[in-house]
Chains A and B, each alone.
Chain A
Amino acid sequence: MQNKNPYFFLILSIIITVPFWVAFACGDKKSEDKPAAEKPADPGKPGAPEAPAELKVASSLTGAGATFPFPLYSKWADAYGKDTGLKLNYQAIGSGGGVAQIKKKTVDFGASDEPMKPEDLQKEGLFQFPMAIGGVVPVINVEGIADGALKLSPAVLCGIYLGDIKKWDHEELRKLNEGVNLPAKDIAVVYRSDGSGTTWIFTDYLSRVCPAWKDKVGAGKSVQWPVGMGGKGNPGVAAYVKQTAGSIGYVEFAYALQNQLPAAQLANKDGQYVKPSIESFMAAAKHADWENAPGFFMVLNDQPGAETWPIAGATFILMHREQKDEAKVRAMFRFFDWCYRSGAAMAKELHYVPMPENVIELVAKKWASEITANGKPVALK
């Protein structure tokens, strides 16, 4: 069939679809503008005269970020919400996403497993504080070796992940483990394939204790692994380790406990071999020097103390220093304070490690001095 003017159709069709295109093209900008525009429309605020007697507390909060503390935050929010009616919407989109979202102000708080550097905090007008401790545990699957039976030194762990130590009956391993029946099997190295705070803590630890690792690989949420295979997420690593005879991997402590993966002992800074446990993680946090860590920038790797487990990190909450909505800040502080104190037992139930008392007090002090709503400090009670 012939058309009168084929171009006519083309032009017309473009005209018809123009609204879509405008929408597409502007989509990006709009989504960035929105949160700022929506902010003033918070519940209980607009227009109405301030009630002087009672302090306003927001009834809902939004947060986004790290997946590692997600089960803990959910449980806390659930228990706290039952008493107070606070609704917390936490999206476990990953630490990087959490940082990006809080920068864009699309959420009330962000959560990250990797502390932000003090100068970056300054630049973005952000404040961070540790909420709970996460530890990383090497887990193994070697026939005949039970949980806690294998001893690893930092150098040997590093050698395995560098690919220098290839067999389970390597001389170095035998020296550390007299009396343990080590098979003449290949070591299958397993790592996290997705970018994650767990990997960051683990590689940061290796970089601290092993110069060769620092030179060749370095620390990051994902790195160029010299050997091995990558499983996606803690479940992926756990599955690879469980299914592959002769494998070694690293997972979050909570994950190792819940799945009963055989863990190895590790020598700490004091040269003591320790097993991963809630106590050994808390020892790491207790001995860390938080007072002299600007912006709470602190990694709990390779901390001193005879009982200290050497691979650990805190998981952090990020919020803006200058807030507009006082009721929201108050809700956040009350919630997080409750988490620190009343939530500690709950955290242990889920195999998370709560913050020690000395750190909690320091954080509360900083809340009062560093966070402002409309230029004024926020009264809690």
Chain B
Amino acid sequence: MTPRRLADLWKAQTSFRKSSAFHRHVDRAFRYLTLACAATTLLLVGAILWNLIEHAWPSITKFGLGFVTSSQWNPVKSQYGAASSIYGTLVSTAIALILALPISLAIALFLTSYAPPWLAKIVGTCVELLAAIPSIIYGMWGLFVFAPYMQKTVQPMLAKLPGPLFDGAPLGVGMLTAGIILALMILPFLTAVMRDVFAMTPPVLMESAAGMGSTSWEVTRKISIPYGLRGLIGATFLGLGRAIGETMAVTFVIGNSHRISTSLFAPGNTIASTLANEFNEADSPLLEAALIELGLILFVITLIIQILAHLWLKNLQKRQAR
């Protein structure tokens, strides 16, 4: 757009608005205000990143890349590595998403497409109530109620399956239990947002598809999901964000061990649980720096996942447009 044309546009705009000079000022002030708020977010993220790097610097310079690849976590010998925490964070979040995504999708579809309105209202309220339960409650419930159930019922059953995933003694706590608790925690979030996304699909689109003889599943798959894809991915990210950084609930049930194991029954840890465990008593500067570097890594992991999702979404839209 040439500057000339830009100026014309601006002139046209201002002459149109001249009718109410006062409104124009209010409008402009409001615009500045929103922009200032948005810019604050940006600066805040930048400042957090800078702060993390600054405080993690002793650990970054001491351990270098080895910090990410080593699963040594030895406060006595001041040797720190994040591999087991990174592994645990990714695995527990993956378990949570694998379990929670299809279930929440199903609940959301049921609420918007199949349930009679009175039932949808009741179930919808329940879902929102679940979302309001503090994470420590999930943790306590997980430790005192769910872990014994896992130990006595679920794990002995799963142990019969072949493969290294379900090896080892049924301890009740461990990676799998943490993943399931996380799934329960993010389920209401995912469901609530997905329901709203599906509710926004224009009824006329769905009705026309149904009119052309599509089954309910086809309407869902070909109309509702593609229409709300952006929103669905947004919902997934809300859930993922909560799962990846969840602290208390995971710390209670994951078993808190710095060892990497292929078995999902084995105790493990996550970045957030390590922070919760160690930060209180981190009296050596290097340990504190290592913990802050863990926080930095969590930050970077989230960023990478965000970027990948955006790229994937862009690619998807391009293909759809074709």
Report the bound CA distance from A221 to B282 in whole Å.
9
State whether the Cβ of A369 lies closer than 8 Å to any Cβ in chain B.
no
Question: Closest approach, in angstroms, between the C-beta of B179 and any C-beta of chain A?
Answer: 16
Q: Are A94 and B280 interface neighbours, CB within 8 A?
A: yes
Q: Quick one: given A95-B281, A219-B76, are A10 and B173 in contact (CB under 8 Å)?
A: no
Q: Which residue of A218, A229, A244 is within 8 Å of B256 (Cβ)?
A: A229
Query: Which A residues touch B72, using CB under 8 A?
Result: 224
Report the bound CA distance from A231 to B139 in whole Å.
12
Q: Quick one: given A24-B47, A218-B77, A223-B75, are A236 and B36 in contact (CB under 8 Å)?
A: no
Query: Which B residues touch A345, using CB under 8 A?
Result: none
Q: Are B147 and A195 interface neighbours, CB within 8 A?
A: no
Q: Are B43 and A21 interface neighbours, CB within 8 A?
A: yes
Q: Are A186 and B169 interface neighbours, CB within 8 A?
A: yes
Residues 42-75 of B at the A interface (beta carbon under 8 Å): 43, 47, 72-75
Report the bound CA distance from A135 to B109 in whole Å.
57
Q: Are A16 and B282 interface neighbours, CB within 8 A?
A: no
State whether the Cβ of A249 lies closer than 8 Å to any Cβ in chain B.
no
State whether the Cβ of B128 lies closer than 8 Å to any Cβ in chain A.
no
Q: Are A194 and B281 interface neighbours, CB within 8 A?
A: yes
State whether the Cβ of A230 lies closer than 8 Å to any Cβ in chain B.
yes
Query: Which A residues touch B114, using CB under 8 A?
Result: none
Q: Are A229 and B32 interface neighbours, CB within 8 A?
A: no
Query: Which A residues touch B169, using CB under 8 A?
Result: 186, 188
Report the bound CA distance from A224 to B77 in whole Å.
9
Question: Secondary structure of the B side of the interface?
Answer: helix
Question: Closest approach, in angstroms, between the C-beta of A100 and any C-beta of chain B?
Answer: 7
Report the bound CA distance from A301 to B31 in whole Å.
67
Q: Quick one: given A12-B32, A17-B43, A223-B75, are A229 and B255 in contact (CB under 8 Å)?
A: yes
State whether the Cβ of A31 lies closer than 8 Å to any Cβ in chain B.
no
Q: Are A14 and B39 interface neighbours, CB within 8 A?
A: yes
Residues 223-257 of A at the B interface (beta carbon under 8 Å): 223-225, 228-232, 236, 239-240, 243-244
Question: Closest approach, in angstroms, between the C-beta of B68 and any C-beta of chain A?
Answer: 18
Residues 1-30 of A at the B interface (beta carbon under 8 Å): 1-2, 4, 9-10, 12-14, 16-17, 20-21, 24
Chain A contact residues (Cβ within 8 angstroms of B): what range? Answer: 35 or more
State whether the Cβ of B103 lies closer than 8 Å to any Cβ in chain A.
no
State whether the Cβ of A280 lies closer than 8 Å to any Cβ in chain B.
no
State whether the Cβ of A222 lies closer than 8 Å to any Cβ in chain B.
yes
Per-residue interface assignment for chain B, residues 164 to 185, with 1 indicating a CB less than 8 Å from any chain A CB and 0 otherwise:
0000010111100000000000
Query: Which A residues touch B43, using CB under 8 A?
Result: 14, 17, 21
Per-residue interface assignment for chain A, residues 91 to 125, with 1 indicating a CB less than 8 Å from any chain B CB and 0 otherwise:
00111110110000000000000000000000000
| Most B C-beta atoms less than 10 A away, residue of A97, A99, A220 | A220
Q: Which residue of B39, B173, B267, B277 is within 8 Å of A194 (Cβ)?
A: B277
Report the bound CA distance from A24 to B173 in whole Å.
40
Closest residue of A by beta carbon distance from B274: A193
Report the bound CA distance from A17 to B269 in whole Å.
39
Question: Closest approach, in angstroms, between the C-beta of B25 and any C-beta of chain A?
Answer: 14
Q: Which residue of B9, B76, B252, B269 is within 8 Å of A236 (Cβ)?
A: B252
> How many residues on the B side are at the interface (Cβ–Cβ under 8 A)?
46
Per-residue interface assignment for chain B, residues 269 to 287, with 1 indicating a CB less than 8 Å from any chain A CB and 0 otherwise:
1000100111011110000
Closest residue of A by beta carbon distance from B251: A232
Report the bound CA distance from A12 to B283 in whole Å.
42
Q: Are B255 and A230 interface neighbours, CB within 8 A?
A: yes
| Most B C-beta atoms less than 10 A away, residue of A24, A222, A239 | A222
State whether the Cβ of A141 lies closer than 8 Å to any Cβ in chain B.
no
Q: Are A221 and B75 interface neighbours, CB within 8 A?
A: yes
State whether the Cβ of B133 lies closer than 8 Å to any Cβ in chain A.
no
Report the bound CA distance from A219 to B75 in whole Å.
9
Q: Are A230 and B282 interface neighbours, CB within 8 A?
A: no
Report the bound CA distance from A4 to B74 in whole Å.
58
Closest residue of A by beta carbon distance from B6: A2
State whether the Cβ of B298 lies closer than 8 Å to any Cβ in chain A.
no
State whether the Cβ of A196 lies closer than 8 Å to any Cβ in chain B.
yes
Query: Which B residues touch A195, using CB under 8 A?
Result: 75, 277-278, 280-282
State whether the Cβ of B187 lies closer than 8 Å to any Cβ in chain A.
no
Per-residue interface assignment for chain A, residues 174 to 200, with 1 indicating a CB less than 8 Å from any chain B CB and 0 otherwise:
000000000000101000011110000
Q: Which residue of A13, A96, A188, A217 is within 8 Å of B39 (Cβ)?
A: A13
Q: Are B151 and A243 interface neighbours, CB within 8 A?
A: yes
Q: Are B281 and A229 interface neighbours, CB within 8 A?
A: no
Q: Are A9 and B143 interface neighbours, CB within 8 A?
A: no
State whether the Cβ of B148 lies closer than 8 Å to any Cβ in chain A.
yes
Q: Are A9 and B31 interface neighbours, CB within 8 A?
A: yes
Q: Are A2 and B9 interface neighbours, CB within 8 A?
A: yes
State whether the Cβ of B312 lies closer than 8 Å to any Cβ in chain A.
no
Q: Are A16 and B256 interface neighbours, CB within 8 A?
A: no
Q: Are A225 and B257 interface neighbours, CB within 8 A?
A: yes
Query: Which A residues touch B6, using CB under 8 A?
Result: 2
Q: Are A223 and B39 interface neighbours, CB within 8 A?
A: no
Q: Quick one: given A2-B10, A12-B36, A95-B281, are A232 and B147 in contact (CB under 8 Å)?
A: no
Q: Are A236 and B143 interface neighbours, CB within 8 A?
A: yes
State whether the Cβ of B125 lies closer than 8 Å to any Cβ in chain A.
no
Q: Quick one: given A24-B47, A229-B256, A239-B143, are A222 and B171 in contact (CB under 8 Å)?
A: no
Query: Which B residues touch A222, using CB under 8 A?
Result: 75, 277-278, 281
Per-residue interface assignment for chain B, residues 16 to 44, with 1 indicating a CB less than 8 Å from any chain A CB and 0 otherwise:
00000000000000011001101110010
State whether the Cβ of B144 lies closer than 8 Å to any Cβ in chain A.
yes
Query: Which A residues touch B258, using CB under 8 A?
Result: 224-225
Closest residue of A by beta carbon distance from B267: A229
Question: Closest approach, in angstroms, between the C-beta of A379 and any C-beta of chain B?
Answer: 35
Report the bound CA distance from A244 to B253 in whole Å.
13
Task: Given contact pairs A9-B35, A194-B281, A221-B281, enumerate 8 new A-B contacts (beta carbons under 8 Å).
Answer: A2-B13, A14-B39, A96-B282, A195-B281, A217-B76, A224-B73, A229-B174, A243-B147
**Would you list 19 pairs from A and B whose C-beta atoms are within 8 A, ordered by A residue?**
A2-B1, A9-B31, A10-B35, A13-B36, A13-B38, A14-B43, A95-B281, A96-B282, A188-B171, A196-B281, A218-B76, A218-B77, A222-B278, A224-B76, A225-B258, A229-B256, A230-B255, A230-B277, A236-B252
Interface residues of A (CB under 8 A from B): 1-2, 4, 9-10, 12-14, 16-17, 20-21, 24, 93-97, 99-100, 186, 188, 193-196, 217-225, 228-232, 236, 239-240, 243-244
